[in-house]
Structure 1
């Protein structure tokens, strides 16, 4: 079935983990001591700028957009996609591929399924359809890998920026031991930068990178189902053979039994 809702696992994980840290800070009774503007600027700004060195600005901006897709998702389950393609294959086998035109109107203009079926309706050779769709799929995988790569790099950089902030704070403290009033602020920078870096890396960047990689794998599977279905319809193969091929792609829990 089609699902269009919040990704509860992502929201619960992010909200719950940050709530636990915030609760621990509040129970300590010294909330103000956990905020230090220089530390925030050093870790947040430094992580963003250093990560940008490894990528283009376009890739960094695209990664930020992908973060939103981990919270608000619209997914088609693999078995629903398989049943949909089998139903279309059964109709087209008896009445021809022009039966797909009415179905195309219900699909989003930018969907992989729409493009795969449109190529078949346009009468392109099946080998060319397969080549075009595979190139599109490869491009999508590369974009997703780039997005998750940005987050992985940010997860590496954030603790490093925390360590740099710690060294800055220690140098400031050691350089002003004769002034007791400067020791506290310097120690705050030293400790809080490490704290901010560890929180960002382990509670934000790294988990979201893993979720993006998981979502990408799911989307690749769905698009392979659509591609296999479209090329099978283009060849006018027996839908029973398509069912067998689809079940070789799908995980055991999602395998279909359309004709049984």
Structure 2
């Protein structure tokens, strides 16, 4: 679990609620059904038009990475790859065949299977890099969904504020309604700007960071598998892959 992300999200809520209380507006001023409909539902509506269904579903699926990113075990992977290189040197590449079924990661499993099948190193690299580029493109497209939501939300907040001011203008003859109407108008602006800058945009950037880490990890896997295919010394493989830890 990413404690920093969890704390950050909690602090964002505390900042909003606490700021509203300290400024004298109160907690109740943060709730507006009209602002919620215009800004939040409007942002979802815009992103559904903006995004292909497959990309949107993937974005929902990887949203959990903000708090629970995929495990990053590069040191363990390096040791595993070094062990495979030792097996390959002693028993040949076919000695790795029993290990293929043990792999849970489809990318790692595919690469190890290609080693067992005796493919040329450059063929292994080419095929795995295609898979890597495809997965990275898919993940980044999903992360950009939240980035786009961060762009639409503030604009819809302004629209909500304009609607509120229109309602105020219609009630100029009744001064008792003016204060409440103006406050409600600005609530929509808060929804738009706060949701974008405290949630959507930070989520998008965090996901991009996680995706970059996953890409780097898989680049390490590719280099390790190629080194095994080329029959490099296990010590040299370990030294080479150690560079990916920094």
- TM-score normalized with structure 1 length: 0.85
1:124-168 deviations in Å (ceiling 9; x for gaps): 333222111011000111012101211111111111111111111
- The aligned residue for residue 243 of structure 1 is 238
Are 1:36 and 1:188, in contact at CA under 8 Å, matched by a contact in 2? no
User: What do residues 107-137 of structure 1 show as CA deviations (whole Å, max 9, x unaligned)?
Assistant: 21x4321221122113333322211101100
Gaps of 5+ in 1: 1-5, 253-260
- Give the number of equivalent residue pairs: 245
CA contact (8 A) 1:158 1:201 kept: yes
In structure 2, list runs of 5 or more residues that go unmatched: none
Q: Measure the CA separation in 2 of the matches of 1:10 and 1:50.
A: 26
How far, CA to CA, are the matches of 1:59 and 1:224 in structure 2? Answer: 24
Moved more, 207-216 or 187-196: 187-196
In the alignment, which residue of structure 1 is the partner of 2:57? 61
Q: In structure 1, what is the equivalent of residue 70 of structure 2? A: 74
Query: Could you tell me how far apart the structure 2 residues matched to 1:54 and 1:241 are?
Result: 48
> In the TM superposition, what is the alpha-carbon distance from 1:181 to its structure 2 partner?
5.0
Q: Does 1:49 align with 2:45?
A: yes
The alignment yields a C-alpha RMSD, in angstroms, of 2.1
Looking at structure 1, the residues matched to 112 and 223 of structure 2 have their Cα atoms a distance apart, in angstroms, of 11
Match of 1:216?
A: 211
What's the CA shift string for 1:30-83, capped at 9, x where partnerless? 322221100011110111112233221221221121111222233133233222
CA 57–188 in structure 1, closer or farther in 2 if over 3 Å, else same: farther
Check whether the contact 2:154–2:192 (CA below 8 A) recurs between aligned residues.
yes
8 Å contact from structure 2 (residues 39, 153) kept in 1? yes
Change (3 A) 1:189 1:26: closer
What does residue 38 of structure 1 align with?
34
Distance in 1, Cα, partners of 2:102 & 2:14: 42
Q: What's the secondary structure of 2:71's corresponding residue?
A: strand
In the TM superposition, residue 247 of structure 1 has moved relative to its aligned partner by 4.0
Displacement of 1:184 in angstroms is: 4.2
